[in-house]
Structure 1
Amino acid sequence: MQHAQQREGNTPPSLSSPFSLPNGRVLKNRMFKSAMSEQLGDRQHNPTEGVATLYARWAKGGVGLSMTGNVMIDRTALGEPNNIVLDDQSDLAMFEQWALSGKAEGSQLWMQLNHPGKQIPSFLCEVPVAPSAMSLGEGLEKGFNKPRALSEKEILDLIRKFARSAELAKRAGFDGVQIHAAHGYLVNQFLSSRHNQRGDQWGGTLENRMRFVLSVYQAIREKVGKDFPIGIKLNSADFMKGGFSEEESMEVVKALAGAGIDLIEVSGGTYESPSMVGHNVKESTLKREAYFLDYIEKVREMVETPLVLTGGFRSAAAMSSALASKATDFVGLARTMAVDPDFPNKLMSNEHYKQELRPLTTGHSGLDRIAMLDIVWYEFQLARMARGLMPKPNLSEWGVFFRTLVSAGISSFRKRRA
């Protein structure tokens, strides 16, 4: 296959090298915009015009493949107040505009599909659902209500909803979909023995715990056909005692590769242990930039499925090194593109280019965590680009903190009135 030949050639790929997926779809370069939550849905949870503006800007910046922020498959289960939802109640015309804008300049746009499970702020949902009735830990139980366990009928219904959303994404013109199975959301909860303590066919052994994600993939494949790309974002590990381990993750990778998944994005961590944004990462790893490189090198030995490595990349040199090692086929970028939408073009035109991101803090780590500052600060940058403005690297952390509190209060009020 061509993608295998590209890795085995004598000339190492560059950031600008094209890549053919197993199904023949060609991506123009190796720059992959990883999912970030835009929080740009309207009151009916359709995409706003600003979402189309944002993704057109990223396409202009040179990215080969953009992944949307997490689009929810169930409008009764929102991870954030302004999430976008794709179901039979959605205005498909708004999604068509989004897809068209994101595919400018020869870029591709895939939709990330997600269900938050119990990772729903308490002001949005009194009783969320999860594989088991277990609260989040590490102090997060104060902001997230204890869930109830899903019934088997509800599990099967959620699988159908994932498939229906994928079918609608294809109809709207998106180039592919990605299942969000990382960062502690519902699919990740099923995979984790820490959060999934069921005694039926959906829990217990790893074979049973991975049944949900494999069923979601198979249901989507039946709806979209064999030529429509389906990817997955998977944790290398949860980095929590009793959670989804590296060894288990590799077994899931092999199962997904055997089932025919088109693209695997490697990340790691959860809200409880947010390694995906650099928390609790070793100093030696930070210097190398790629947080999960050791893991993906092991995965590369096991499967031929195209891989994306996301987390920590800042310089063209480190990205080129990761590609040259043949451990990964794509470089995943997120926060760097929230600060500079032209980052891909700059990287591809200057092999010495590097972007530094300043540490974000109000000076009080507890407040930073309550406000999820490492996430919402970047959401404010996305909102600026959605209005046609450039990002503001010196944006005040305290300003973001207070505006987040006000927004949460308004959203809570609307929820009570709904």
Structure 2
Amino acid sequence: MHQPSLPHLQGQDPSVAGLVEAEARRQFEKIRLIASENYVSPAVLEATGSVLTNKYSEGYAGRRYYEGQQNVDPLEQLAIERARTLFGAEHANVQPYSGSPANLAVYATFLEPGDTVLGLSLPMGGHLTHGWTVSATGKWFNAVRYEVRRDTGRVDMDQVRELALKERPKLIWCGGTALPRTIDFPAFAEIARECGAVLAADIAHIAGLVAGGAHPSPVGHADVVTTTTHKTLRGPRGAMILTTDEHAKAVDRAVFPGLQGGPHNHTTAAIAVALAEAARPDFADYARAIVANAVALADALLERGYDLVSGGTDNHLILIDLTNKGVAGKPAARALDEAGIELNYNAVPFDPRKPFDPSGLRLGTAAITTRGLTPDLMPRVAEWFDEVVVAAGKGDTTVADRVAAEIRDLMAAYPMPGWAPLG
């Protein structure tokens, strides 16, 4: 039973209620290692499901196109002030619906169609919206892409500088979706200044680590910072843009009316709650614990002969190349899911395989850290992981049920925020 229960949903639409309940139980019973997922607090859940979803608030505080904003305006201002304070930014926009629209707003602020943008290649760990071919950002703009080094698996800063000076981009992206190492924001800022580009930092994955002091901050180095709010920051599925006062009005105009209509007020409320939680001293402990778990898990996987891109991790994320294990990423991910370990298959740098059938796996430790798992448990997680991957390589399906049962027993001892099984 969902705690609190869902009596209205169960009475009116038992099909949907059943699926919600099944999803809650799935999240409770599995070791969730998807790097872009987490568990939110009961307070964030309540704000997300509040009556604020009934209200339309096109515009900004004090400049709305609808009446009845007496509560929404101070709510949005509260979220803005909490974001500014937490990250030390001069200006924050909390209205973007998600990370991709937030990134599109950066383009709309600083570029015209056809302008040159420099970003990390998607197969190297970048994001679709950093100028990849199938994205609108790769079609509407002249996208130039840098890579990681073959020998280290780390961003090739020499290549970034060389391309920046040669191509003279108007915008440079740093950050990505599969980068297990610390982002050198000062080095990117120096290159951007040298070629006269705007520097945008996409910290969607590491925002919680930045807020908790477990990763350096881009604020003060990047002209604009984008982030989602639902990964390591442990908030709802939304996004924010942080920038300087110089660019504040242009960024706001790009979000509305440039790209979006009315903000999702229930999400804004939940973002405000999550930002307050992230400002507490115990969140810094949480951010450090995420990294400690990732390092411990990486070390345990290395001991079992796994090839980790860059040789390890500095943050919440681990990227594994399974080539030496004789199994591709997709069948391994599916076998692990059956066995109670949830992650995603992922391309690795210079991957010879196709994107929908890549060589790697991506995993992260934010969600299991929220549940309370600690570094001493990571060797056990690595052991289960290895058992399933080895079995998948052999086509053996007999291991999954046993491992899944053992994982259920383990996770039963670690509470899931906002839900508990009956009995």
On whether the aligned pair clears a TM of 0.5, the verdict is no
User: How high is the TM-score relative to the length of structure 1?
Assistant: 0.30
Instruction: Give the number of the structure whose residues are more often helix, by fraction.
Output: 2
Task: Point out which structure has higher relative CO (alpha carbons under 8 A, 6+ apart).
Answer: 2
